[in-house]
Structure 1
Amino acid sequence: MDELARQVAQAGLAPSRVVVLLPYGALVAEARRAWAARAPLASGFAPRFTTARDWAAALSPWRPGSDDISHDMARDALVAAAWIERVVRERLEPGLRRELVARLIGAARQLAPLAAAQPPERRAAWAEDRRAALAATLGSAAAQWESLVASLAITWAGSSAYVTDALWSPLAAPGADADRLLCLPGHHPDPLAEALLAHWGDRAARLAWSAPAEPAPRVWACEDFEAEAQAAAACAIEHLNAGRAPVALIANDRLLTRRASALLVGAGVRLRDETGWKLSTTRAAASLMALLRAADARASTDEVLDWLKLSPAFPPLAVESLERRLRQRGVARWSAVPLDWRGADIDPQRAELQASRPLLLWLKDTAAALERSGQWAALQADEAGRQLIGVLRLGEGAHELDGLGEAAAGERGAKARWPLTAFAAWVRDVLEGAVFQPTVAGAPQVVVLPMAQRLGRRVAAVVAPGSDERHLSASPEPDSAWTAAQRALLGLPDREALARAEASAWAQLFDGAPVDALWRRHEAGEALLPSAFIDGIEPRPASELLPASAVPAGGTAPPAARAPALLPERLSASAYDDLRTCPYRFFARRQLRLDEVDELDTEPDQGDLGNWLHAVLRAFHEARGDDRPGEDADRAALDALAERVALDMGLGDEVQAGGFLPYRAVWPALREAYLRWLWPHEAEGWRFVAAEAEREQRAGRWALYGRLDRIDARRDADGGESFVIDHKTESRARTEARVKEPMEDTQLAFYAALLSEPRLRAAYLSIADTRGERDEPAKLIEQTEVLAARDAIVQGLVHDLDRVAGGAAMRALGEGMACEYCAARGLCRKDFWTPSTDGVQGLP
């Protein structure tokens, strides 16, 4: 301000005839306050503090043309695609095309400041010179796509108009709108500001910043990411408690800054984030993308459920019920969901967005689909949702995209027909390129900003987390899209220029405010060194900011739950096995009815093989009955059923089929193993009675129920005899271990208790892939003492349940493998137990 006042007075100009170009927009209010604070100039007109972009917009409103760089991703993505397809005649693979579009936009935006610094009439010649000079560095055939992107970026930047072009017009000529131009530089060179200074000649001058204070930060060393985020928040709160506000929180490490910001907001701090975050990460974007993913004809069940949960048009209880059924059955693809399970409105709404159409129709129909699903009102009520509607032109403004990209050779223009995948990719790119900055009510106490924009800001303190070698390098790496030689040819800053700018930004952090710099010693298991800017300064431990509180050593007592009122009156074999294995597991799963949520979109596993085989054998025997059509007929019937059942279970669709291939590969061996067991078994007089047979019996006041894989029967001289058979596809050793101790095997004894026949046999039929082993592929593993085990298990079940009903404690008594894969392990907290001393007695 001193230098500005001197130059204004020396030239004898009215302050209002002086334009002062600032490096970024947030400085405008700061500069006006600083000028108004000068006592001699407290009244009268002030110089015009502005940025080049705002000055040009005030002189002449600007709208981008159909091929201009607009810095609006919705437009630029269409124009970039048109540029690519003008020169690439063959149809590109969608992934490659999207990558080329993204790289072209990035390269063109880097060159845009250089092109804007050229007068419009000389811009084409500038581009031609740069393109010719760059051609010598892009001659390799291996660099085909890099050459294409570089050449198109220069052409696009050189042929584009810019909002600042008004500064080259007579409206902004020296003496027309202003009599003097002063430039206050930022850390990075500004090509346009330098060009305007040359254009104005002796009517222009630079202003200089005052010398920064000597760097003397407090340096805090933290152990890891979370410790650094907490320490950064603690530093900011310490300054606020001392009356120092606002505090600048420097965004060196964006992820860390987000975490520290969340901690501060959670503590009630008013925080304004000037860096913002990608619009694609907001809930509004997730809601829209959920609709587009669910609309795909190949959508997974998870994708459709995600959309249903975000759509007010679908009742939450109905969606929850549907999800529970789908998870129990393990339906991974929506196309495999039974028709009678689907809601009446789900598929019609999805179908509305499955046909190809022009972009402008996509925008209109997407808005209508959001309205039908109830999502539109939620978007309009949300700040990020309103921005999303605006950047995508879902409400008004779609006509702005009309005609963009139509010059492309092919069918990618705005009036060409886009498939859903192309439209969804465009939406994703637009949301990735838009920045969301939430508004804050009242004066902010903490302001998140880039280090370069600390320059000239009035802040009471500065907190700079991420001051490590990775996030605050003293020698930043230039953008890898250009080589050092290409950067020199184009006029882009090299490593040395970037290093100078970084050093300047670091020095200006200390402009009259205390600075806290933080870094962490470790990240992702690797050591992390401090930035060269703070190397050599003795760090203080972050524990001084976050003093440790005394926590008594010790664990948690083993649980001893009692819930007789929640005891179910009907028990299955697996429920009683839970009680015998671990009473607390029974309490968690059967009394509290807690269980793990089944995954939907997973690869088929051994469980799917077992379910598939059970369903195939059931269908085979129910269709075959007592007939004996012959070996070839049996093989053909099993093969046909195997295919049909796989399709019914969703294991034949394009996604699941690949994962199920290893199991289908062993099907011929399993089929032969089963038939070679079945035929001799039937020759002994056994006949099929029922499969998946539901049975129920009483045991005292308790009801036992279950579903038996298979019941066979035969008659001999002693009368009738029944045979309960349970199919197993697990390892042979595990099945054989089940029957070693008859009184320990719950399943067959429980199944026997469901049948009242006096003559009864029970066995596991192990059907396993035993290729390379001497054991037979299908083997009947019989429980020879099943009747005694049945009587013992009924007596034990009544005794145990009566004790639970009487209030016995349900202790966690599982051991070994029973605990290793227990769904209730996190609830009983066995890993954190201390020896119990309460003397409570539980089930033995």
Structure 2
Amino acid sequence: MTPANPPAQSGLPASPGQEIEGSASDWQSLIKTLSQSLAERGIEAGSAVVLVPYAQLMDVGRRAWSSHRPDGFAPRFESSRNWAASLQPFTPGAADLSMDMARDSLVASAFIDRVAPARADAELRAVMVTRLVEAARQLAPLAAAVPPEQRVAWAEALQQSLLPGPASLQWEGLVATLALTWASTSTYATDVLWNPQASPGAGVQALVVLQGFQTDPLAAALVAHWGERALSLSWRVGGSRASGWSLHACDDAEDEAQRAAACVIARVNQGHQPVALVATDRLLTRRISALLHGAGVAVRDETGWKLSTTHAAAQLMCLLRAASPRASMDDVLDFLKQAPRWPEASVLTLEQLAREAGVSQWRAAVRTASLAHALPEGLVEILSEMQSPRSLVQWLDAVAKALKATGLWDALQADAAGQQALLVLRLEDGAARELADIGETAGDSATSRSAGRKPLALFTAWVRDVLEGATFMPRGTGEAAVVILPMAQMLGRSFAATVVPGCDEVHLNPSPEPPGSWTAAQRELLGLPSRETLARAAANAWQSLLRMPHLDVLWRTQELGEPVMPSAWVLALQAEALHDGQDPRAPTTLVSAPSAPPAPSAGDVLPGALSASAYQDLRDCPYRFFAMRQLRLVDAPELQVEPDQRDMGNWLHAVLRAFHEQRGDARPGTEADRAALDQLALETAAAMGLNAGEGGAGFLPYEVVWPATRDGYLQWLATFEATGDRPGPRFVQAEAVMTSAVGPWKLYGKLDRVDAQESPEGPIPFVIDYKTESRKTTTDRLKEPLEDVQLAFYAALLPDDTLRAAYLSINDRPGSTSGDTATRLVEHTEVLEAREQLRAGLSHDMIRVAAGHPMPALGEGRVCEFCKARGLCRKDFWSVS
């Protein structure tokens, strides 16, 4: 934005032929020189066109002229594109380089398909398309500076030097020659400036070019074309430096963003408006802008940001991700939460059921009976409609239809970024026809992929590229207190104060890397700016910045824990003994207020029944029992795409349950048992969505160790069931749900497996609990037998006076003990005594809970380190006595 009343101090204009010293009257001197030069040539100022290096200077120049030459007509201050647009509207041809990623990517793809059909895989082809678009756009300013009738000859003279060299550079050479051909055969919006209607003397009597820090090829070519009727004014960095500088060394990127925002706000509060915020680091600038918006500061951004980073683009992409055949449940839920069609309550219900069922993939959710009634109306049909391949135009029509069906269309139209997304993707009615024949025109229609049917993955990649290639410029309302702009566009403009963050060695390099993959020889041949030219332009921009009043320069001293040096230009300023700036942020004193460990009482909030894990919580930490069992504050299960150790345990439990229920007491032999286990393992993994097709590659490690786990289990089972003087235990039931009571308290539990051990007194129940944890963890449970809760609790669920109980440790490798096997039975030898003690202790503890005794947070031991209620008890904020 241009300030409404720019101060006298401005950017750095210089003169034609002779240079004007930069001072408070730069514009005045420039306009004086311009008017004198036009008068000497007998040309009225109103019949001259002044080409400025960037569009924002048009208004600055007009106001400067009206301020210093209020009488008579003023010259037309124009950028080259604005001047061309005023002469003739422009519509690019089907194969022209249009600077529109939606068109250019299709044309580039058609070119690649035409010259290299079936010679590159999909990934290499995609990279070549991106490189071709980038290279052609870099050549476009050079091609536009050549008269249209001379471009083909210009390109032919350069083609031989750009032919592919060694085999290792074959693709680079191919992209370079294609880019040159594309740029030279395209028409440009500024081509009208070479036409007779824009020739010298036809409406415009003189052309004046104000050069920026870097030479504009088109402007230089027009100066030569206009000859004596052209006047070139260059800007020179010179003059005295302004005062009021401050240098700020910051800790890291976040500290730099906060301090930069504070500097801007301080300048605004001092009445120095407008403030220029120079963009050197895109991410840092976005963060500073967010902080300023949060503080209520009016900001105008002249740099913009990628359309792909806006919320509107995220809404579009979430639809395409949800429609993918491999969409995760998270992808679909994200889409549902964005779409206005479905109420929030129904989406939350589906999410809760999906978490409880452990469904991580959308296609598995469609087949899950427990989720069938919760699937939002029309969702399956909308996503299914976007599965089959189709042409680009058909894809755009399908996306527009889906957006309207889900309510996202209206949301996008109500958002400025959404409107631009609909525009660049041609989603409005009839707009997609523009792209229908682009591929066929640019390439061979028989082989052009852009004219054929695209799968969803390729279409999604195209949408991503289009959104990434478009720039969103947020709309400003009224006069802004802060203007975000590049350093090069400070030229010729006046700001009351300037803040320059990102002045470290990475983001403010005095010798910037030239864009593109061109070699130094190619850049010289083509006329692209060299590293030295770019470095000189950057240095001039920096020197012009130093003339700005009230300048704040900031840089970070570390990045991700690694030290970062200031830019070489900043080091030069430090060598001049410039003082460090004061941090404008006001310090806030925080008084430490540690809390005491909580000890609530909730005798009127008792669980209806107790499980083994619930009573374990009570014994580990009363507060944990209060939070998770009485208040029922539990974490929602994760919708994990990749299976983890918990999934492995659930899968193994399900496999062994199915195996033993199918096998019963039959003992067909090791080979038959192995085949049955393998078949059930595959079927169970598929049913649970754990195989590679559903859950990704996360289950592969468990599939690798399965043979060792299976053989270890069968080896143990053969020994366990062996008959001798006394028959071995026989399988009775798996996943047995049992209940009992201890006084008024109900107990319940699900036992992994119950066997029957024959004895002279009759069958004795044998409770077995599977454990897939480490062998040491399992054995440590019974180091103190009377302290174990789980097996004693399970024993309390059975009315039998005699029983056995054990943990079955199932691993894929033997334990560390000599003679230990991969699967080992760890029996509780004192389970009956432990059961009686548990019954007495449980009754005593629950009576105290019901009576309202405090339930303190213990805050001790390993249990506390992994407790889900740790954030509630606030252990890290307890007072230390």
Instruction: Tell me the TM-score normalised to structure 1 length.
Output: 0.94
Task: Measure the CA separation in 1 of the matches of 2:95 and 2:378.
Answer: 42
Task: Measure the CA separation in 1 of the matches of 2:223 and 2:624.
Answer: 78
- Cα contact 2:396–2:426 (8 A) shared by 1: yes
Displacement of 1:647 in angstroms is: 1.2
Name which of 569, 573, 591 aligns with 2:612: 573
Aligned pair 1:186/2:212, yes or no? yes
Name which of 177, 180, 188 aligns with 1:151: 177
Displacement of 1:490 in angstroms is: 0.7
Identify the residue that residue 556 of structure 2 maps to in structure 1.
520
Task: Measure the CA separation in 2 of the matches of 1:192 and 1:657.
Answer: 53
Aligned pair 1:800/2:845, yes or no? yes
**What SS does the aligned partner of 1:666 have?**
helix
Task: Measure the CA separation in 1 of the matches of 2:57 and 2:847.
Answer: 78
Task: Measure the CA separation in 1 of the matches of 2:716 and 2:546.
Answer: 85
Shift of the 677–510 alpha-carbon distance from structure 1 to 2, 3 Å rule, reads closer
Aligned pair 1:725/2:768, yes or no? yes
Name which of 368, 382, 386 aligns with 1:339: 368
Task: Measure the CA separation in 2 of the matches of 1:729 and 1:168.
Answer: 79
- Cα contact 1:333–1:650 (8 A) shared by 2: yes
Identify the residue that residue 800 of structure 2 maps to in structure 1.
757
**What SS does the aligned partner of 1:37 have?**
helix
User: CA RMSD, aligned part only?
Assistant: 2.2
Identify the residue that residue 240 of structure 1 maps to in structure 2.
268
Aligned pair 1:250/2:278, yes or no? yes
Q: Which deviates further from its counterpart, 790-799 or 387-396?
A: 790-799
Shift of the 635–22 alpha-carbon distance from structure 1 to 2, 3 Å rule, reads same
Name which of 603, 611, 620 aligns with 2:659: 620
Identify the residue that residue 647 of structure 1 maps to in structure 2.
686
Identify the residue that residue 59 of structure 2 maps to in structure 1.
29
- Cα contact 1:332–1:602 (8 A) shared by 2: yes
Displacement of 1:540 in angstroms is: 5.2
Displacement of 1:43 in angstroms is: 4.4
**What SS does the aligned partner of 1:86 have?**
helix
Identify the residue that residue 743 of structure 2 maps to in structure 1.
700
Task: Measure the CA separation in 2 of the matches of 1:772 and 1:743.
Answer: 24
- Cα contact 1:212–1:510 (8 A) shared by 2: no
Identify the residue that residue 840 of structure 1 maps to in structure 2.
none
Task: Measure the CA separation in 2 of the matches of 1:540 and 1:303.
Answer: 52
What does the per-residue CA deviation read over 1:660-682, in whole Å, with 9 as the maximum and x for residues that have no partner? 23323333333333334334544
Task: Measure the CA separation in 1 of the matches of 2:368 and 2:448.
Answer: 36
Task: Measure the CA separation in 1 of the matches of 2:453 and 2:63.
Answer: 54
* Letter of the structure 2 residue corresponding to residue 10 of structure 1: E
Shift of the 550–649 alpha-carbon distance from structure 1 to 2, 3 Å rule, reads same
Task: Measure the CA separation in 2 of the matches of 1:45 and 1:173.
Answer: 21
Q: Which deviates further from its counterpart, 325-334 or 250-259?
A: 325-334
Q: For 1:102-141, what aligned pairs fall within 5 Å after superposition? A: 102-135=130-163, 138-141=164-167
Task: Measure the CA separation in 2 of the matches of 1:643 and 1:323.
Answer: 27
Aligned pair 1:84/2:112, yes or no? yes
Aligned pair 1:366/2:377, yes or no? no
Name which of 496, 501, 508 aligns with 2:532: 496
Q: Which deviates further from its counterpart, 292-301 or 229-238?
A: 292-301
Task: Measure the CA separation in 2 of the matches of 1:414 and 1:439.
Answer: 34
Aligned pair 1:54/2:93, yes or no? no
Q: Which deviates further from its counterpart, 56-65 or 560-569?
A: 560-569
* Letter of the structure 1 residue corresponding to residue 633 of structure 2: L
Displacement of 1:563 in angstroms is: 4.2
Q: Which deviates further from its counterpart, 391-400 or 795-804?
A: 795-804
Query: Tell me, which stretches of 5 or more residues in structure 1 are unaligned?
Result: 837-844
Aligned pair 1:351/2:351, yes or no? no
What does the per-residue CA deviation read over 1:50-72, in whole Å, with 9 as the maximum and x for residues that have no partner? 10111111111110001111111
* Letter of the structure 1 residue corresponding to residue 443 of structure 2: A
Name which of 241, 252, 256 aligns with 1:228: 256
What does the per-residue CA deviation read over 1:638-688, in whole Å, with 9 as the maximum and x for residues that have no partner? 222122111111122336464323323333333333334334544435333
Identify the residue that residue 634 of structure 1 maps to in structure 2.
673
Displacement of 1:476 in angstroms is: 1.4
Identify the residue that residue 15 of structure 1 maps to in structure 2.
45
* Letter of the structure 2 residue corresponding to residue 620 of structure 1: F
Aligned pair 1:173/2:206, yes or no? no
What does the per-residue CA deviation read over 1:95-150, in whole Å, with 9 as the maximum and x for residues that have no partner? 21111111111111111000000000111111111222333xx4111101110111
What does the per-residue CA deviation read over 1:240-286, in whole Å, with 9 as the maximum and x for residues that have no partner? 10111111100011111111111111100011111111111111111
Identify the residue that residue 186 of structure 2 maps to in structure 1.
160
Shift of the 771–725 alpha-carbon distance from structure 1 to 2, 3 Å rule, reads closer
Name which of 563, 566, 581 aligns with 1:530: 566
Name which of 210, 216, 225 aligns with 1:199: 225
Shift of the 736–596 alpha-carbon distance from structure 1 to 2, 3 Å rule, reads same
Displacement of 1:182 in angstroms is: 0.5
Identify the residue that residue 842 of structure 1 maps to in structure 2.
none
Identify the residue that residue 300 of structure 1 maps to in structure 2.
328
Displacement of 1:207 in angstroms is: 2.4
Aligned pair 1:278/2:306, yes or no? yes
**What SS does the aligned partner of 2:150 have?**
helix
Task: Measure the CA separation in 2 of the matches of 1:595 and 1:450.
Answer: 50
Task: Measure the CA separation in 2 of the matches of 1:720 and 1:784.
Answer: 18
Shift of the 142–632 alpha-carbon distance from structure 1 to 2, 3 Å rule, reads closer
- Cα contact 1:231–1:542 (8 A) shared by 2: no
Identify the residue that residue 508 of structure 2 maps to in structure 1.
472
- Cα contact 1:579–1:585 (8 A) shared by 2: yes
Name which of 224, 238, 241 aligns with 1:214: 241
Q: For 1:316-465, what aligned pairs fall within 5 Å after superposition? A: 316-337=344-365, 338-340=367-369, 341-342=371-372, 343=375, 345-396=378-429, 397-406=431-440, 407-409=442-444, 410-465=446-501
Task: Measure the CA separation in 2 of the matches of 1:800 and 1:540.
Answer: 68
- Cα contact 1:251–1:449 (8 A) shared by 2: yes
* Letter of the structure 2 residue corresponding to residue 489 of structure 1: L
Name which of 35, 39, 42 aligns with 1:5: 35
- Cα contact 2:251–2:556 (8 A) shared by 1: yes
**What SS does the aligned partner of 2:805 have?**
strand
Shift of the 574–37 alpha-carbon distance from structure 1 to 2, 3 Å rule, reads same
What does the per-residue CA deviation read over 1:470-494, in whole Å, with 9 as the maximum and x for residues that have no partner? 1112221212511111111111111
- Cα contact 2:142–2:527 (8 A) shared by 1: yes
- Cα contact 1:230–1:260 (8 A) shared by 2: yes
**What SS does the aligned partner of 1:45 have?**
coil
Shift of the 794–383 alpha-carbon distance from structure 1 to 2, 3 Å rule, reads farther
Identify the residue that residue 841 of structure 1 maps to in structure 2.
none
Instruction: Tell me the TM-score normalised to structure 2 length.
Output: 0.90
- Cα contact 1:222–1:541 (8 A) shared by 2: no
Identify the residue that residue 839 of structure 1 maps to in structure 2.
none
What does the per-residue CA deviation read over 1:783-824, in whole Å, with 9 as the maximum and x for residues that have no partner? 122222222222222332333344333333243321333223
Displacement of 1:48 in angstroms is: 0.7
**What SS does the aligned partner of 2:568 have?**
coil
Displacement of 1:16 in angstroms is: 1.9
Displacement of 1:556 in angstroms is: 4.4
**What SS does the aligned partner of 2:868 have?**
coil
Identify the residue that residue 688 of structure 1 maps to in structure 2.
731
Work out the percentage of aligned pairs sharing the same amino acid: 55
Q: Which deviates further from its counterpart, 399-408 or 591-600?
A: 591-600
Identify the residue that residue 809 of structure 1 maps to in structure 2.
854
Q: Which deviates further from its counterpart, 91-100 or 358-367?
A: 91-100
Task: Measure the CA separation in 1 of the matches of 2:285 and 2:511.
Answer: 22
Query: Tell me, which stretches of 5 or more residues in structure 2 are unaligned?
Result: 1-30
* Letter of the structure 2 residue corresponding to residue 754 of structure 1: L
* Letter of the structure 1 residue corresponding to residue 583 of structure 2: E
**How many residues align structurally?**
832
- Cα contact 1:16–1:48 (8 A) shared by 2: yes
Task: Measure the CA separation in 1 of the matches of 2:46 and 2:712.
Answer: 97
